[in-house]
Structure 1
Amino acid sequence: MGNADWIAVDWGTSSLRAWGMSAEGAVLWAESAGKGMGGLAPDAFEPAFMDLVGAHLTDDGPIDAVACGMVGARQGWVEAPYRPVPCAPLDPVLTAAPTRDPRLRFRIVSGLSQSDPADVMRGEETQIAGFQSLNPRFDGVICLPGTHSKWVHVSAGEVVSFQTFMTGELFSALATQTVLRHSVQTDGWDGAAFAEAVDDAVSRPEKLAARLFSLRAEGLLSGLPAEAARARLSGLLIGAELAAARPYWLGQNVAIVGASTIARRYAEALAPLGVPATVADGDQMVLKGLVAAQSHAKETHA
């Protein structure tokens, strides 16, 4: 088993990552591939996983793999049912995926659901559990920015409610599929333009659509630099999100769990609003959450 006691897996729509773990929760090896759930047929999941980790396995017996993310979606390997909130982020009972290779036992963490307003999450519940494992007394709101940003109210160790915003996906679509693609094609960044746009959108979110087109108009008429336009596009969308999510962050302890760049930008957007935020690395929280899921599962089956 490559010295691993078990395998932690984060399997999303576009990528697959696996870590060989010791019994104490240390990473012994890591593998990744662009074989996300979105590009696989139902019978292709096990072969894709074995292509990635097979070299680390032996014939000593089945090794546990504990996975989170879209691998448990309806279109994934096997559907791991959603658990309605309020509830703890992790269910000690994991969903078993069918496997043919006797060296592997694959199980999936369930996502969470909310009926009113309707909302779902897969993968973020594991990051939340990872954050809670390091901050067991945290009571407040966890923001998980990304393609679909989530604001999650947690209290007494449970997820109470949450709301999802398609901010990252909107940014990608606007930057690549609309007239704004001519204005924002750069890797540069203008921090002052970002801060100004966040303030504008938080104060006047109803003007978002008009502010977006002004990015193109200013580029044509005033030579607005691409780095300023890109930063303003991000700031406008994040600012509109913050305006809508105000009931979550206002007067609350706030933690941001995500990739370093986007987490830092959310922290910068919240700071002028008088909201200091604790920032935690999303990848580290995934691993901590998967360790917690494996531990809970072992206790359940002990």
Structure 2
Amino acid sequence: MTPDWIAVDWIAVDWGTTRLRTWAMRGTQAVEARASDRGKGALSPAGFEPALLDLVSDWLPASGRIRVIACGMVGARGGWTEAAYRAIPCPPLDPLQAIHAPAIDPRLDVRILPGLSQNDPPDVMRGEETQIAGFLAENPDFDGTLCLPGTHCKWVRLARGRVVGFRTFLTGELFSLLAGQSVLRLTIGTAKPDATAFARAGALALADPHAANAQLFTLRAAALLQGLTPEQAAGRLSGLLIGAELAAARDLWQGNSTVIIGTAGLAQLYEDLLLAAGAKACQKDGAALVLAGLVAASLALPENT
């Protein structure tokens, strides 16, 4: 049973492919946070409830039920239970469309928030919509572009509190595949990107997106012939891929206010290239905004639904 000093009203959950994050909530304030590496990618549908209980069992009441509001890949096909997508244009969240997840423990009342979908061109998101809702809760009049970098980077156009369009780039996944599984693994491995090499390659790809594909093998050749270090090669690869992404997304950020939502290190790479290209860009912390979005969802749900 949870001690009185961390009495919990509800539980917030951000469940991605690789990570599970939970917060014990008292009203709109988090009183404790816990995380594990038991993301969707490591679980079968039957494994979600035990993975959650491993983190939060001592937050649950001795009797009665506690509401758990979850977002992310927990609601994907093959997750705990599938939550339908909501078609844009629309506000980023509609908590009343959250789906109940089946739970064996009678104390759990689990609601999974739906993702967003776009038909033309076809695209989907799960989890990012909750970060977007958290951003709009703090910036309700924002009209511009959000960039949410990660394994799959989302570029999102917002107007009048609604998501009106978005685009997904596989930039993070491409970096991991090329650095870890292609011939470039012999050059890069697990090296961290060198900042100078990143900036130069990013500017090159921004000016000429075709340079990214044309320059990839030169990273291996330069390591063999010119002593290119793994860190320099990682910087060039990251710069080429992110620069090409920014070039392809130019219509979304050029002339618009752009807010980058993500982890500090990755968000900084995007911000540096955008600012160098003359964009109006700034950063916001992704973890704080996903919690703000989950709080907004909790406030919108009636007590007895």
Shorter-chain TM-score: what band? Answer: over 0.9
Task: Give the superposition deviation at 1:76.
Answer: 0.7
Task: Give the superposition deviation at 1:193.
Answer: 1.2
Question: Runs of 5+ in structure 1 lacking a partner?
Answer: none
Pick aligned residue for 1:89 from 89, 92, 97: 92
> Within 2, Cα distance between the matches of 1:196 and 1:286?
33
Pick aligned residue for 2:67 from 64, 68, 71: 64
Aligned sequence identity (%): 54
Pick aligned residue for 2:296 from 279, 292, 299: 292
Task: Give the superposition deviation at 1:298.
Answer: 2.8
1:141 counterpart = 2:148: no
Find the counterpart in structure 2 of residue 168 from structure 1.
172
Is the CA contact 1:267–1:276 (under 8 Å) kept in the aligned structure 2?
no
Kindly report the root-mean-square deviation, in angstroms, between the aligned alpha carbons of the 2 structures. 1.3
Q: Which string of whole-angstrom CA distances, capped at 9 and with x for unpartnered residues, describes residues 193-236 of structure 1?
A: 11110111111112322201111111111101221111110000
Find the counterpart in structure 2 of residue 110 from structure 1.
114
Find the counterpart in structure 1 of residue 20 from structure 2.
16
* Residue type at the aligned position of 1:164: T
Question: Runs of 5+ in structure 2 lacking a partner?
Answer: none
TM-score, normalised relative to structure 2: 0.95
Q: Which string of whole-angstrom CA distances, capped at 9 and with x for unpartnered residues, describes residues 141-186 of structure 1?
A: 0000000001000000000000000000000001100111122235
> Within 2, Cα distance between the matches of 1:76 and 1:61?
26
* Residue type at the aligned position of 1:182: L
> Within 2, Cα distance between the matches of 1:255 and 1:87?
20
* Residue type at the aligned position of 2:7: N
* Residue type at the aligned position of 2:261: V
Deviates more, 1:99-108 or 1:149-158: 99-108
Is the CA contact 2:211–2:240 (under 8 Å) kept in the aligned structure 1?
no
Q: Which string of whole-angstrom CA distances, capped at 9 and with x for unpartnered residues, describes residues 267-301 of structure 1?
A: 001011111212100100110010011111137x5
Is the CA contact 1:190–1:231 (under 8 Å) kept in the aligned structure 2?
yes
TM-score, normalised relative to structure 1: 0.96
> Within 1, Cα distance between the matches of 2:280 and 2:221?
35
> Within 1, Cα distance between the matches of 2:181 and 2:175?
10
Q: Classify the secondary structure of the residue corresponding to 1:147.
A: coil
Q: What are the within-5 Å matches in structure 2 for residues 33-44 of structure 1?
A: 33-44=36-47
Q: Classify the secondary structure of the residue corresponding to 1:298.
A: coil
Find the counterpart in structure 2 of residue 250 from structure 1.
254
> Within 1, Cα distance between the matches of 2:116 and 2:285?
21
1:31 counterpart = 2:34: yes
Find the counterpart in structure 2 of residue 232 from structure 1.
236
Task: Give the superposition deviation at 1:188.
Answer: 4.1
Find the counterpart in structure 2 of residue 197 from structure 1.
201
1:272 counterpart = 2:276: yes
Q: Which string of whole-angstrom CA distances, capped at 9 and with x for unpartnered residues, describes residues 38-66 of structure 1?
A: 22222221122112211221223111000
Q: What are the within-5 Å matches in structure 2 for residues 43-58 of structure 1?
A: 43-58=46-61
Is the CA contact 1:19–1:30 (under 8 Å) kept in the aligned structure 2?
yes
> Within 2, Cα distance between the matches of 1:39 and 1:264?
29
Q: What are the within-5 Å matches in structure 2 for residues 171-182 of structure 1?
A: 171-182=175-186
Is the CA contact 2:70–2:111 (under 8 Å) kept in the aligned structure 1?
yes
Q: Classify the secondary structure of the residue corresponding to 1:64.
A: strand
Q: Classify the secondary structure of the residue corresponding to 1:86.
A: coil
